[in-house]
């Protein structure tokens, strides 16, 4: 805030009134201004620190999520490859066993798709009101059809009521304008055929195929009834209700795409399973790097450093703050906490150790390879990091350790994370410091005005006194001159 214009040298006193007032005002202002400036600098530093810490934690959680991805697993103990990905793809879990398997797919699993009898009036055909019952595998899915409905309204009602159950409907219209209601399910496998009842004209028995040229009054299964996937694994017959075949080969999941081809006999697809030692080594190094990056950031935000002259200590954003210590302690605790169980209990068995000087993790690849020479250890590494469920893997536990700092805890009534709570306090402090600065500026302006008025009054009085003294001196000088003349 600008200070009032101060006069220079007083006309009466000859004193530098502006300099005197400025000195007095600054002396009064300095303690409070220093307090505000120091608090503002510290508060701004902490706000910046909150932003840096939040970015570091978000990056750490992203790393843990990427390493623990189920669609692109970084910690797969085994790698499963298919010689013909057009026929099938294969993925492995921690219980897989190295080996080769010859797979021939002779039939894919299909779902049920049924069509009603033909309606000459097309999609606008009137449908009686009532409850349409769609049955599948012993379960009934009911759809209420109100009065005045059409075939199109019925389709929409089915999609709205049963879409979440994997049942959908549409209308197929032929060249003559006649329409059929077609209902399908995303469930596959023999026995999953749909039957429809409850409303006249929409009765469908999905266990009976319609054929290629059905009569107008015919209804039934389109393109045949639902069926299982059929395949052979090393010549052994396997049947599956789904095209995702799990458990047929221990530790493997086969995702079937199409049937095998070849003449005179179908060509087998070779599924190869190998230990993923090199991939696991790379992933462990990425895990170590992610942890060290987070810890380095926390250390930088917490430790005071000397200034350029090496004499004074420069405070960091969280110097002396317990929050960063609690954060890194909770993360480190998961490094030694029991997880999914198994022969691998601690990271040191994989060559992951703590540097005693920095507290960072370091990875001894020689120790890792020595452990990997033991049979079945690649699967145990996968189990250690990704766990046997959604909660006991090291990656998940490490991510959850920092989650309260980024997201509101379940038992937090305020609905804010720990960092957001801290930011709210700092924002409140910013407003308070702004108010204090405005109050101080107002006090300085008033004090400057008051002191200036007082010193100007004093200067005027001194001027008057000087004038009076000058008159008296002149009077006596004149009197003395008169007496001397006599």
Per-residue model confidence as pLDDT tens digits over 205-259: 999 999 888 899 999 999 899 999 999 999 999 999 999 999 999 999 999 999 9
Give the pLDDT confidence score for residue 304 in this predicted structure. 82
Query: What does the alpha-carbon distance between residue 408 and residue 55 come to, in Å, rounded to a whole number?
Result: 17
DSSP 347: G
Q: Dihedral sign for Cα 249, 252, 254, 260, please.
A: negative
Give the pLDDT confidence score for residue 2 in this predicted structure. 46
- Start-to-end Cα distance in the chain: 68
Evaluate whether 398 touches 63 at the Cβ level (below 8 Å): no
* Global pTM value: 0.69
Overall size of the chain counted in residues: 486
Query: What does the alpha-carbon distance between residue 194 and residue 221 come to, in Å, rounded to a whole number?
Result: 8
- Kindly list the strands in the beta sheet with 244-246, ordered across the sheet, starting from the edge strand earlier in the chain: 88-92, 252-256, 244-246
Closest to 210 in 3D by CA, of 238, 237, 182, 235: 182
Give the pLDDT confidence score for residue 10 in this predicted structure. 47
Tokens of 259: 């049937």
Evaluate whether 41 touches 33 at the Cβ level (below 8 Å): no
Evaluate whether 448 touches 4 at the Cβ level (below 8 Å): yes
| Element holding 222 (H helix, E strand) | none
Evaluate whether 96 touches 252 at the Cβ level (below 8 Å): yes
Over its C-alpha atoms, the chain yields an Rg (Å, rounded) of 42
Helix (H, G, I), strand (E, B) or coil at 208: coil
Closest to 181 in 3D by CA, of 206, 148, 146: 206
Tokens of 443: 């006090």
Evaluate whether 241 touches 228 at the Cβ level (below 8 Å): yes
Instruction: Detail the DSSP E strand segments found in 224-281.
Output: 229-233, 236-240, 244-246, 252-256, 269-275
Tokens of 401: 């350790």
Cα diameter, the chain: 161
Sole residue written with tokens 């012993």: 138
Query: What does the alpha-carbon distance between residue 403 and residue 396 come to, in Å, rounded to a whole number?
Result: 10
Closest to 219 in 3D by CA, of 113, 115, 112, 111: 115
Q: How many CB atoms lie within 10 A of CB 373?
A: 8
Helix (H, G, I), strand (E, B) or coil at 328: helix
Give the pLDDT confidence score for residue 311 in this predicted structure. 67
| Positions of the chain with pLDDT under 50 | 1-7, 10-12
| Element holding 380 (H helix, E strand) | helix 377-386
Closest to 77 in 3D by CA, of 100, 97, 94: 94
Evaluate whether 358 touches 305 at the Cβ level (below 8 Å): no
Tokens of 353: 């150790």
Identify the bridge partners of residue 101 per DSSP, sorted by sequence position: 271
Give the pLDDT confidence score for residue 413 in this predicted structure. 66
Give the pLDDT confidence score for residue 5 in this predicted structure. 47
């Amino acid at each position: 805030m600008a200070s009032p214009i101060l006069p220079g040298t007083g006309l009466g006193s000859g004193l530098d009134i502006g300099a005197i007032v400025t000195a007095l005002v600054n002396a009064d202002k300095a303690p409070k201004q220093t307090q505000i400036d120091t608090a503002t600098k510290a508060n701004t530093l902490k706000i910046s620190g909150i932003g840096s810490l939040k970015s570091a934690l978000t990056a750490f959680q992203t790393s843990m999520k990427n390493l623990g991805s189920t669609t692109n697993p970084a910690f797969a103990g085994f790698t499963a490859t298919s010689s013909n990905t057009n026929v099938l793809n294969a993925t492995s879990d921690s219980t897989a066993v190295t080996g080769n398997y010859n797979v021939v797919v002779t039939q894919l699993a299909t779902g049920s798709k049924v069509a009603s009898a033909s309606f000459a009036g097309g999609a606008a055909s009137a449908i009686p009101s009532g409850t349409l019952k769609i049955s599948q595998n012993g379960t009934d899915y009911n759809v209420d059809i109100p009065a005045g409905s059409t075939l199109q309204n019925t389709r929409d009602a089915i999609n709205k009521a049963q879409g979440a159950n994997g049942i959908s409907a549409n209308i197929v219209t032929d060249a003559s304008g006649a329409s059929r209601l077609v209902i399908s399910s995303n469930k596959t496998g023999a026995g999953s055929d749909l039957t429809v009842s409850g409303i006249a004209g929409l009765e469908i028995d999905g266990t009976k195929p319609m054929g290629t040229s059905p009569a107008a009054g015919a209804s039934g299964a389109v393109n045949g009834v639902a069926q299982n996937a059929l395949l052979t694994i090393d010549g052994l017959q396997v049947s599956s209700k789904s095209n995702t075949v799990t458990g047929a080969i221990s530790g493997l999941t086969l995702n079937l795409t199409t049937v095998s081809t070849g003449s005179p006999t179908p060509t087998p697809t070779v599924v190869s399973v190998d230990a993923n030692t090199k991939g696991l080594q790379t992933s462990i190094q990425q895990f170590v790097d992610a942890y060290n990056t987070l810890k380095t950031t926390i250390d930088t935000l917490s430790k005071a450093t000397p200034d350029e002259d090496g004499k004074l200590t420069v405070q960091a954003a969280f110097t002396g703050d317990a929050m960063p210590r609690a954060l890194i302690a909770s993360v480190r605790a998961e490094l030694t906490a029991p997880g999914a169980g198994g022969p691998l209990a601690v990271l040191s068995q994989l060559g992951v150790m703590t540097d005693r000087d920095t507290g960072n993790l370091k990875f001894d690849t020689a120790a890792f390879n020595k452990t990997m020479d033991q049979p079945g250890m690649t699967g145990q590494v996968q189990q250690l990091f990704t766990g046997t469920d959604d909660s006991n893997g090291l990656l998940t536990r490490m991510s959850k350790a920092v989650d309260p700092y980024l997201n509101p805890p379940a038992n937090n009534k305020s609905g804010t994370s720990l960092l957001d709570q801290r930011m709210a306090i700092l924002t409140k402090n910013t407003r308070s410091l702004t108010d204090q600065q405005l109050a101080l500026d107002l006090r300085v302006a008033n004090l400057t005005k008051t002191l200036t008025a007082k010193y100007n009054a004093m200067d005027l009085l001194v001027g008057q006194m000087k004038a009076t003294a000058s008159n008296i001196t002149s009077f006596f000088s004149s009197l003395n001159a008169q007496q001397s003349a006599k």
